[in-house]
Amino acid sequence: MDDRIRGNLEGVRARIAEAARRSGRGPDAVRLVAVTKTNPPDRIVPLVEAGQLDLGENFPQELWRKVEALSARPEGIRWHLIGHLQSNKAKRTAPMVRLVHGVDSLKLLRLLDELAADLPGPPGICLQANCSGEGSKHGWSPGAMLDDAEAIASCRSIPIVGLMTMAGYGTTDEEARPTFAALRELRDRMRDRTGLELPELSMGMSGDFGAAIEEGATLVRVGSALFEGLDPP
Ligand SMILES: *Cc1c(COP(=O)(O)O)cnc(C)c1O
Lining residues, ligand 1, CB within 6 Å: 35, 37, 58, 82-83, 166, 169, 205-207, 221-225
Ligand 1: residue whose CA is nearest its atom 11: 221
Q: 161 by DSSP, 3-state: which?
A: strand
106 Cα: distance to centroid of ligand 1 (angstroms): 23
SS3 content of the chain, % helix, strand, coil (to 5): 45, 15, 40
Q: Which residues contact 11 (CB under 8 A, 6 or more apart)?
A: 225
227 Cα: distance to centroid of ligand 1 (angstroms): 12
195 Cα: distance to centroid of ligand 1 (angstroms): 30
Beta bridge partners of 32: 220
* CATH architecture for residues 2-226: Alpha-Beta Barrel (3.20)
In the predicted structure, residue 87 carries a pLDDT above the cut 90 = yes
Burial label, 136 (beta-carbon count in 10 A; 0-12, 13-18, 19+): exposed
Domain ranges across the chain? 2-226
Q: 148 by DSSP, 3-state: which?
A: coil
Q: 73 by DSSP, 3-state: which?
A: coil
Confidence band of 149 (pLDDT split at 50, 70, 90): very high
Q: Lowest-confidence range among 87-101, 116-130, 164-178, 194-208?
A: 164-178
pLDDT computed for residue 117 by the predictor: 93
What does the DSSP 8-state code read for residue 225? G
Q: How far is CA 116 from CA 8, 56, 110, 119, 121, in A?
A: 36, 20, 10, 5, 8
173 Cα: distance to centroid of ligand 1 (angstroms): 15
CA-based end-to-end distance of the chain: 12
29-82 per-position pLDDT tens digit: 999 999 999 999 999 999 999 999 999 999 999 999 999 999 999 999 999 999
Q: 220 by DSSP, 3-state: which?
A: strand
